[in-house]
Amino acid sequence: MSFPDLQSFIRLLEERGELLRVSTPVSRELEITEIADRLVKKGGPAVLFENVVGSPFPLAIGLLGTAERVALSLGLPDLDALAVRVRDLIDLSGAKGVGGMLSQLPKLRDAMNLPPRRVKKAVSQEVVWTGDQVDLNRLPILKCWPLDGGPFVTLPLVITKDPETNERNMGMYRMQVMGPKETGMHWQRHKTGARHLEKARRLGKRLEVAVALGGDPALIYAATAPLPPIPGLDEFALAGFLRGQRYPLVKGITVDLDVPANAEFILEGYIDPQEEWKTEGPFGDHTGFYTLPELYPRFHVTAITMRRNPVYPATIVGRPPMEDAYLIEASERLFLPAAQLILPEITDYHMPPAGVAHNLVVTSIKKRFPGEAYKTANGLFGLGQMMFAKVIVVVDDGVPVNNFGEVWREVARRAVPGRDTLTTRGPMDALDHSSRGWSYGGKLIIDATAKLAEELGSGVGSREGQNEGQGGGEALFVPHASADLPTFEGVLAQRQTADGYWYVALDKTRSGQAQELAAAFAANAAASGVRHLLICDEQTDVHNEQDVWWTILNNIDPERDVAVYGDLLAWDGARKLPEEGFVRPWPPKIVMDKSVMDRIEARWHVYGLPERWR
């Protein structure tokens, strides 16, 4: 089932009881965020806010806020079916003879849906604003979090064209509203849009830009997908494949760009590469921390086109789990078959929400020879945006990669600190605030597979394929928690788990404090039943496993902050200080204003929202 546009998907969600309408006036500044955040974290429904203060347009949020809704939006029974469909498309084995060729006809139909089609008229251009009519403030653009630098467009489909090759690109980059006709354009150094702008600068010309808001759900997802650089394969082609129909495009009104014919709004304009960049941010980002102010290009809006009765689509990002976690899960399924073509030992992989995409990747393999876990992890580091991965954990086939607790139990049982851990370096996400340098830092591989004899240091292994994939007689670690835990300067709370982990919340006030704590705790008798010491900041709830790991994975550069102390692997996720050589500003965690939380709590019933989602 494909959807002709976003509003048809909204109608279906409402029919299925998965969308609420709120007609009571609500503020676009923080209030919608607080409502949407509560709903998405409880797996609640999407919301259509029909009366956003200061705007004539309704706002829809949380449309893709569960894995089930993402699958529904792509016409699938579940997200695993996406991998099946892709695997079938790329598997051309057996296509021999007339019968074999006929068996490939469904694949040919799928392939024919890849190229988009041009149309002459489009609903996305039923209403056109130009000149003095252009006013971004009339759209219900959200200020999401208290410290945000202003309102941000959070679900934009940003379209550019390579000035030299004319190849299209569409990506999702946040846009801070800086005036009625101007926004920032958050093109990080690794993004395709940034490369297009640099080419325009060298050629001495402006870069035309179009921003679609809406379109059908397949297009929204496609804009987030990390597509490989294959000529002719762009996000419109991916959307066509996903929806089973060629994607309809129309030429822009004031730009020479193809834009989605079925969008709710289109913002048209340009970026002048010769123009001075402008400070953008802060922004409460998908990491759960604020991205601090930086200079970014300025997007000038020359026209806004729209449907006659458009709906403004939005999302929020922040502390996981958020809506983006389910888009990430869809990308996992979409690219699993391609990863397996290159690394056939992989049986599955997962990027848990606590890792906010790049910070943690868990992969399972059918192990055949010593060192294969490291071979797989290094291979993953070389696959497109997987280059940003910070920690890769490799487990045996059969370990459920999406079972967070089971994965870390396997790590404690099978991965000996030092022997089965390896640090390296490489590119990092530009939003990573803890890396040694901007967009460059350390990485960690953990081999939690059953060990072969060679990996245990015996020097005697199987030959001629004998006993391949069998353990080499390793003694598995048996964890236990201690009730008698030591004290240390700045420790606010701590606990040990029954599966081998020691969580500590540290109020760090001086240089080297975390390292001294790690050495002292490793030497204490209480360390005998654990393998991992996780040192977090003072805001971390040590009784919340997800909060602990989210903090750790955000706050470490593995080469600098993960080290062996005795038999412990210590993860230093405390705040880094200038006295320790960390010169970049350390961002705050995202926290909603208590006054806003209290106001929404008091007005929950006024908005007509069900009590169970409160």
Which residues form the catalytic set?
Answer: 285
Q: Which residue has the tokens 């459920």?
A: 400
Alpha carbons 594 and 588: distance in angstroms, whole number: 16
* Nearest to 179, CA basis, from 312, 280, 314, 52: 280
* Nearest to 208, CA basis, from 156, 253, 250, 271: 271
Name residue 501's amino acid.
Y
Residue 264 CA, chain-centre distance (Å), reads 24
Coil, strand or helix at 515:
helix
Three-class secondary structure assignment of 154-181: CCCEEEEECCCCCCEEEECCCEEEEECC
- Residue 75 backbone zone (phi > 0: left; psi -120 to 50: alpha; other: beta): left
Residue 516 contacts residue 533 (beta carbons within 8 Å) = no
Q: Where are the beta strands (DSSP E) in 172-297?
A: 175-179, 182-184, 207-214, 248-251, 258-260, 263-271, 278-280, 283-284, 290-291, 294-296
DSSP secondary structure code for residue 500 in this structure: S
Residue 424 contacts residue 445 (beta carbons within 8 Å) = yes
Query: Encoding tokens for residue 382?
Result: 């070389």
Alpha carbons 11 and 19: distance in angstroms, whole number: 8
**Helix pair 324-342, 80-90: axis angle to 10 deg:** 30
Query: Encoding tokens for residue 173?
Result: 């980059």
Residue 391 contacts residue 355 (beta carbons within 8 Å) = yes
Alpha carbons 129 and 145: distance in angstroms, whole number: 29
Which residues are within 8 A (CB) of 332 and not within 5 positions of it... i.e. 6 or more apart?
79, 349, 350, 351
Alpha carbons 226 and 334: distance in angstroms, whole number: 10
Q: What angle do CA 497, 503, 505 make, to 5 degrees?
A: 150
Q: Where are the beta strands (DSSP E) in 318-460?
A: 346-350, 360-365, 391-396, 421-427, 440-448
* Nearest to 249, CA basis, from 226, 271, 216, 227: 216
Residue 522 contacts residue 563 (beta carbons within 8 Å) = no
Alpha carbons 232 and 169: distance in angstroms, whole number: 10
